[in-house]
Structure 1
C-alpha cells in the first residue's frame, strides 16, 4: 500500500497540480472523487446541504453498520440533528471535568516519559498511546482498570484495513465488545450519574426526548476511537518530525512559548486523519468536474495540508509557521468536537518530553500503518537523551 511503503506526497502534489478533483476507480468496480486542494476541500466540507455525511465518513465502512448509525452517530449525521447531538456531548465539558482531565494529563504524560527514559530504548507508539487513552476514558467515565481493554479494542477496530474475512470478523467483534461495555456503563450511570460524558449522554435530550440507546452507544464508540487513535498518531509523528529536524527541537526546547504554534504545526504536518468522505445529495460541479448525486466525494486532508497555494514550503516542518490554516480537525459543522482537548494533550506531552529530554534518536526502522484512513505508525523505536544540566 502506498501509504505504508512509499511516499504519497509526490502523488498528492501531482494531483493538486493536474487533477485536483480526481476520479479514483477501485479494483472492486466502485469509484469516488478525491479532492486534493485546500480550497476545494474547504468548499466541500463546509457545505453539508450538498455534501452529506449520512452515507458514511470513511471508505470501506460496513453498509449494515452505516444504515444503523446514520442519523444517530455524530460523525454520520447531518444538520439539524447533528447540531443537537453535538450540543448534548459538549455539555459534558464542564470546568470541573476539564480541570480533572488536565491534572490527569500531567500525571500520565510525566510518568510515561519517565518510564520510557528509565528503560533506555522504547517503542514510542506504546508510550504515546498512554495519554490519549487515559484522557478519553477518564472523560467517558471508564475506570482506570479497563483502560488497557479499551486501547486494545479500539486500536484493532479502527487502525487496520482487513485483508480477509477472518480479520473483518475480528474488527466487528472488537466493535461489539466496545458497545457491550458501554451498555453496562450506561446502566450504571443511569443509576449513579457522575461528572462524565456517559452521564451526559444517558441524561441528554433532543427536542424533549432522551437519546436512544443506539445514539448513546454509537457516539461512545466514535468518541473513544477517535480520541485514542488520532492524538496518538499525531504524537508519534510529531516526535519523528522533531527527531528529523533537530534545529526545530532545539528551538522548541529553548523557547517554550513556541509550543502553541508547534502543536498546530504537528497537527498540519502529521495529518493523522487521512480522509473525510461525503456523498453528493445532488448533481454539483466541484473543481471543474461534474459530480452526480449519490457519488462519494473525499477530502484528502494531508494533501490539503501540503497545498502550496496556502502553505509556504509545505514539506518543511516549521514550529513557527503562521498563519497555519490546516484542516487537521476538518472544517464546517463536523469540526472536531475534541480539538481543544487534542491540542492540550499534545501540548502536555511535548512539554514533558522537552523538559526531560535534550534530544532523541531512532534505534530501528519506522513502520507506517497499513491504512487508508489513519496516516499513522505501527512502530517508532527511540532512545531519549536526558538533560545533563
Structure 2
C-alpha cells in the first residue's frame, strides 16, 4: 500500500505517475503512514475545492502540514495567519492586505527588476550556474527584505541568511547531510533574532513596512504580542521564499525541456501573464495543505469523520484530467487555467499577486537577455513531502 506522504517518492522524481494512478483509482483515500497519524489524501479537483472553500468544516488550526510537530502547531494555532480561522484570520489578513494589493505590488516592480536583471546578467558568461541557490533563492529574499522594511545596510546579510535558511531540503527531511541541516537551522535562528530586534525598533519608530503593520495594528481589539508578531514574520518570510523559489526553478526546467514554449515566449507569440499561470500550475511547489474536519462530511464519496485530517495534494489536483486537458503538457497558452497552486477561498495565498509579479519579471528578463538555456548536470529534487521542488539545477545561460 502506498504512503503518499513518503518523501522518498518525491526525491526519486517519479511522483507524477503515482498521482495519475491515484486520481484514476483512489481520488480520496485514507493514507496511513508507518508510525504516524493517518489522513484522507485528496488527489482530484472537486473535493479539493470543497476543502479550500469551507473554513468552518475544515479548520486550519490543526496545522497545515502532515507530520508537523504537535507542540509547534499548538503554539502557533490561532495566532499565526496560516494556522488560524475566522474571525481572527480575517482580522489579521485585513491588517496585512494593503501591502499585497495590486497597486502596492506594482510599486515593487522596479525594485524587483533591480534584483533580477544584474543577477541574470552576471550569470550569462559562466559555464555553470546552480540556478537553485545562485539565482532562484536570491530574488524572493530581496523582495521580502523590501516588504519587511529591512534597512539597506542589512540586506546583503539578510539575503545571505535567507538563502542559507531556505536551502536545499526542507527542515527535518533530508537524505543525510547533517552539516547542511545544522547550517540551515542556525541561519533560521539568526533570522528570528534579527526580526526580534526589528520588532522592538518598529515599536519605537514605526515605518511603512509589514513589521510595523503587525506591531501597530489593532487585531480583534488589541495589539499583537512580540511572540505573535514574530510568528507571523516567520510565516511571511517562509511563504515568500519557498513557493516562489521553486516555481522559478521548475519553470526554468520546463522551458528547457519544452523548447517550443521557450521559443514562443521569446518571440512574443505567447503571453507572459498566461505563462505565469501555467508555470504555477505545472510546478505546484506547495505540495500539500492539511486541514482538520470539525464535523462529519462527505468528501469525494467518502465519509470523513470529525477530528480526522485531510490533505489536499496540490500537484495532483492541478493535473486533474477533468479540469486540465492533457495535464502533463507544459502549455504556456493554456486557458482557462483554474489551478489551486496558491489555494482558494479564505486561505488563498496572501502573497499571490506578489508571487505572480516576481515570476512575471523573471520571465520578462529571461526572454529579454537570454537566447539559449541548457542543462549541464543532473537535476536533483527535494527529499520532501511538503515542498515539491528542487535541490539542484545546474544550467548554462547564454
2:218 corresponds to 1:205: yes
Q: How far 1:48 sits from its partner (Å)?
A: 0.8
Deviation at 1:173, TM superposition (A): 5.4
TM (normalized to structure 1)?
A: 0.94
Q: What is the alpha-carbon distance in structure 2 between the residues aligned to residue 27 and residue 376 of structure 1?
A: 24
With 350-359 and 261-270 compared, the bigger mean Cα shift is at: 350-359
Query: 2 CA distance for matches of 1:63 and 1:246?
Result: 45
Task: Name the residue aligned to 2:5.
Answer: none
Deviations, residues 25-69 of structure 1 (Å, cap 9, x unaligned) = 111142111000011100111111111000100122111111110
CA distance in 1, matches of 2:319, 2:131: 26
1:155 lines up with 2:167 in the alignment: yes
* Cα shift readout 1:265-297 (whole Å, capped 9, x = no counterpart): 000000011000000112222112121211110
CA contact (8 A) 2:169 2:384 kept: no
- Output one character per residue of 1:153-173: Cα deviation in whole Å (capped at 9) or x when no partner: 233784551579x78887765
> Shift of residue 214 of structure 1?
2.1
Of 138-147 and 262-271, more deviation after overlay is shown by 138-147
- Counterpart secondary structure, 2:78: coil
Q: Give aligned pairs, total.
A: 385
Question: Is the CA contact 2:37–2:67 (under 8 Å) kept in the aligned structure 1?
Answer: no
Find 1:283's aligned residue among 296, 299, 304.
Answer: 296
* Structure-2-length-normalised TM-score: 0.92
Unmatched 5+ residue regions in structure 1?
A: none
| Per-residue deviation, 1:120 | 2.9
- The answer as to 2:98 corresponding to 1:91 is yes
In structure 2, the residue matched to 1:129 is: 137
| Structural mapping, 1:134-213, within 5 Å | 134-143=142-151, 144-145=155-156, 146-155=158-167, 158=170, 161=173, 175-213=188-226
Given that 2:291 and 2:309 are in contact with CA atoms closer than 8 Å, whether structure 1 keeps it comes out as: yes
| Residue 23 of structure 2: aligned partner | 16
- Specify whether residues 156 and 369 from structure 1 end up closer, same or farther in structure 2 by C-alpha distance, changes over 3 A only: closer
Q: Output one character per residue of 1:345-376: Cα deviation in whole Å (capped at 9) or x when no partner.
A: 00101111111111201000100011111110
Report if the CA contact (8 A) 1:57-1:276 is conserved. yes
174 and 280 in structure 1: CA distance in 2 versus 1, 3 angstrom threshold: farther
TM-aligned CA deviation for residue 77 of structure 1: 0.2
Out of 372, 375, 382, the residue aligned to residue 359 of structure 1 is 372
Counterpart mapping for 1:69-80 below 5 A: 69-80=76-87
State the SS of the aligned residue for 2:137: helix
> Separation in 2 of the partners of 1:315 and 1:270?
11
Structure 2: distance between partners of 1:192 and 1:94: 24
Q: Is the 8 A contact 1:157 1:171 kept in 2?
A: no
Q: What is the deviation of 1:179?
A: 2.5
SS of the residue corresponding to residue 118 of structure 1 reads coil
Matched, 1:41 2:48: yes
Equivalent position SS for 1:199: helix
